[in-house]
Amino acid sequence: MGPPGAGKGTQAAYICGKFGIPQVSTGEMLRAAVAARTPVGLRARRVMDAGELVADDIIVDLVKERIRQPDCRNGFLFDGFPRTLPQAQAVVDARITIDHVVEIRVSDAGVVERISGRRVHETSGRIYHVTFNPPTVEGLDDETGEQLVQRDDDREETVRERLRVYHTETHPLVSFYERLSDTTNLRFSAVDGSGSVEQISEAISAVLNAR
Ligand code: AP5
Ligand code: MG
């Protein structure tokens, strides 16, 4: 977990590669639904463009269906889920075991800097930054050579709203998981997200390897 632009998707790619598990990113799933104009996508589009959260029941159903797929049998990484207390409670109620929650801490100013330079490859979800993580050829995806784009919700006023929503709706999950880590096998770790992509990757590896 972490605010918008903290580097959740960037780090998820490393962790999933290392452990051979799929990345279950609710943001990516919703963007795919929007692109495919499914009923969920049609409902989610306006909410996402405004920087608000999609309804808990839609999200919980999406996630439950996703983790029933065979590739999730040996585990999975949640990216951007759960992000409200009702979603976190739904995970507990469904007896879905979370081994480790990692919070990536980045200041609001850091978030704005990262998001303003973000470019993505729409079909794969690969993430770049014009300065901090540039593609080999400017503006083009490393693997397919296709054009990179800016996300629709990366406009400055939407980013400010996403940050506000993070602080009010999602950040309370930190104490929720800290409490759960006192009474169950779940582990909670916070890492400083202000360093380079590699430094944060190492910090996350260290807390995961310490299990
Ligand atoms: P989602 O797609 O999850 O967006 P988000 O939480 O706002 O997070 P981002 O994807 O913007 O950032 P990130 O932390 O993944 O950072 P990234 O690695 O890209 O959700 C989008 C929307 O969908 C939500 O607003 C909501 O409407 C809806 N939604 C999704 N899940 C939901 C849920 N569970 N419930 C309800 N609604 C939901 O990195 C950012 C940039 O920084 C990149 O350019 C990257 O290259 C760069 N970067 C990364 N690390 C570093 C570093 N260490 N140093 C410098 N630059 C870096
Ligand atoms: Mg992301």
3-state secondary structure 64-107: HHHHCCHHHCCCCEEECCCCCHHHHHHHHHCCCCCCEEEEEECC
Please give the span between the terminal C-alpha atoms of the chain, in angstroms, as a whole number.
18
The amino acid occupying position 193 is G
- CA nearest to 5, candidates 109, 81, 77: 109
Q: Is 135 in the pocket of ligand 1 (CB under 6 A)?
A: no
Asked whether the predicted pLDDT for residue 164 surpasses 90, the reply is yes
Q: Are 3 and 107 in contact (CB under 8 A)?
A: no
The per-residue pLDDT for 25 is: 97
Nearest Cα residue to 51 out of 138, 159, 147: 159
The CA distances from residue 153 to 83, 114, 172, 191, 202, in Å, are: 17, 14, 23, 26, 29
What tens digit of pLDDT does each residue of 184-196 get?
999 999 999 999 9
Q: Mean of the pLDDT values across residues 75-85?
A: 98
Distance from the CA of 12 to the center of ligand 2, in angstroms?
9
Does residue 211 register a pLDDT over 90? no
Token pair 């495919």 is at which residue?
36
Over range 6-31, report the average pLDDT: 96
Q: Please say if 162 is a catalytic residue.
A: yes
Mean pLDDT of 135-152: 97
Please say if 118 is a catalytic residue. yes
Higher pLDDT, 144 or 113: 144
The whole-number pLDDT of residue 136 equals: 98
pLDDT band (50, 70, 90) for residue 210: confident
- Given the residues 45, 66, 83, 126, select the one marked as catalytic: 83
The finding on whether 10 has its CB within 6 A of some atom of ligand 1 is: yes
Q: Residue 77 in contact with residue 22, Cβ under 8 Å?
A: yes
Residue among 26, 31, 28, 53 at smallest CA distance from 41 = 31
Is pLDDT at 99 greater than 80 in this prediction?
yes
Rounded to an integer, what distance in angstroms lies between the CA atom of residue 27 and that of residue 48?
9
Which of 67, 116, 129 maximizes ligand 1 atoms within 8 Å of its Cβ, making it the mutation to test the pocket? 129
For the CA of 55, the nearest atom of ligand 1: 36
Query: What was the pLDDT predicted at 128?
Result: 97
Residues in contact with 67: Cβ distance below 8 Å, sequence separation at least 6, in sequence order:
24, 76, 96
